[in-house]
A and B are shown apart, each in its own frame.
Chain A
Amino acid sequence: MKLRTVTAALLALGFLSACNSEPGSLALNSKRPDIAPFMGADNGFMVKGWKPGDAKSWQEEINKRNQQQSEYIKIK
């Protein structure tokens, strides 16, 4: 009896494993290998004043340029 139960359980497990499916997602590759902008560009048009490869330095440079778009700050 016990052997029959165990066999049935193993068979059920085998059959049910076919019902598995991969987890679905709308954007499987939403993160791709793209080089981060703080790594800099090798084209001779880089702005001076920040260090390529240093995320903090890049962020500071971008923030500086961001603020230049506000003339209220410029005229202070």
Chain B
Amino acid sequence: MARMKFICDAERCIECNGCVTACKNDNEVPWGVNRRRVVTINDGVIGAEKSISVACMHCADAPCMAVCPVDCFYRTDEGVVLHDKDTCIGCAYCSYACPFGAPQFPSTGTFGLRGKMDKCTFCSGGPEANGSVAEFEKYGRNRLAEGKLPLCAEMCSTKALIGGDGDVIADIFRARVVKRQTAGKNAGADVFGWTTAYGQPDKAGAKAAPTGGKI
């Protein structure tokens, strides 16, 4: 069975926000909620600016599931982390636990009213019947049940964002990295990985990478 995942290729993302727009439009996401967003680092620095599209990563060991006090999350056989809005109380514990900032809360009322949590569903709806109106109104489209992949990935113009079976998309990304490395360019983790966050090991002030030895 497929284990659904997203990968964003930082070398290809051009910060067009097409994925964000496609997600908002197709799922009719409420005002103030962005299930997907594009994050840019080193903005304006020539040669160093990188963008990446971020949403729920459908973690194998999801922290949102672990902290939810009403246990509204569940994982499908395809590895997609979904939640039940009928159970959610909008406490936002998941928002604090998530390292990607995926859980979003609509704020449509007065006095900072916080509604039920909303997040990327990997275009696979929720507990309601597949493709039903009830499912669409609460969670958006169920493209997986239509035999399709998430719209953000399928419409990405540069194919920076790829989504689907983890093994397959990892192979697609690996092929790109190998091709770039063969051409003598930086690729893979050299572009957007450990060194992006912690610096190059040979530069002053860089933190030492863990050696993986025994503790």
Residues on A close to B: CB < 8 A? 26-43, 45-47, 49-50, 58-59, 61-63, 65-67, 69-72
Q: Specify the chain B residue showing the minimal Cβ separation from A65.
A: B149
B66 within 8 A of A: yes
Known: A35-B145, A41-B131, A42-B129. 10 other contacts (CB 8 A): A27-B73, A28-B71, A31-B74, A33-B127, A37-B76, A40-B130, A40-B131, A43-B132, A63-B2, A66-B172
Contact (Cβ within 8 A) B164 A37 = no
Which residues does chain B contribute within 8 Å of A66, judged by CB atoms? 149, 164-165, 168-169, 172
Q: Which of B66, B75, B142, B145 counts the most chain A CB atoms within 10 A?
A: B145
Contact (Cβ within 8 A) A69 B172 = yes
A69-B153, A69-B172, A72-B175 given as contacts; is B162 within 8 A of A39 (CB)?
Answer: no
Q: Can you name 21 A-B residue pairings with CB atoms under 8 Å?
A: A27-B65, A27-B73, A30-B65, A30-B73, A34-B76, A34-B127, A36-B76, A38-B145, A40-B131, A42-B131, A43-B146, A47-B146, A59-B1, A62-B164, A63-B165, A65-B164, A66-B149, A69-B163, A69-B172, A72-B172, A72-B176
Q: What's the least CB distance linking A71 to chain B, in Å?
A: 6
Contact (Cβ within 8 A) A47 B77 = no
Q: Give the docked Cα–Cα distance between A45 and B179 (Å).
A: 37
Contact (Cβ within 8 A) B145 A37 = yes
Task: Digitize B15-35: 1 where CB-to-A-CB distance is under 8 Å, 0 elsewhere.
Answer: 000000000000000000000
Which residues does chain A contribute within 8 Å of B176, judged by CB atoms? 72
A interface, over-half SS: loop
Task: Digitize B35-77: 1 where CB-to-A-CB distance is under 8 Å, 0 elsewhere.
Answer: 0000000000000000000000000000001100001011111
Q: How many A-B residue pairs have CB under 8 A?
A: 108
**B82 touches which of A34, A59, A70 (Cβ 8 Å):** A34
Task: Digitize B147-187: 1 where CB-to-A-CB distance is under 8 Å, 0 elsewhere.
Answer: 11100011000010011110011001001100100000000
Q: Specify the chain B residue showing the minimal Cβ separation from A70.
A: B172
Contact (Cβ within 8 A) A47 B148 = yes
**A35 touches which of B130, B153, B172 (Cβ 8 Å):** B130
Q: Specify the chain B residue showing the minimal Cβ separation from A45.
A: B146
Q: What's the least CB distance linking B165 to chain A, in Å?
A: 6
A29-B71, A33-B127 given as contacts; is B169 within 8 A of A69 (CB)?
Answer: yes
Q: Specify the chain A residue showing the minimal Cβ separation from B68.
A: A27
Contact (Cβ within 8 A) A34 B126 = yes
A29-B74, A31-B74, A69-B162 given as contacts; is B169 within 8 A of A58 (CB)?
Answer: no
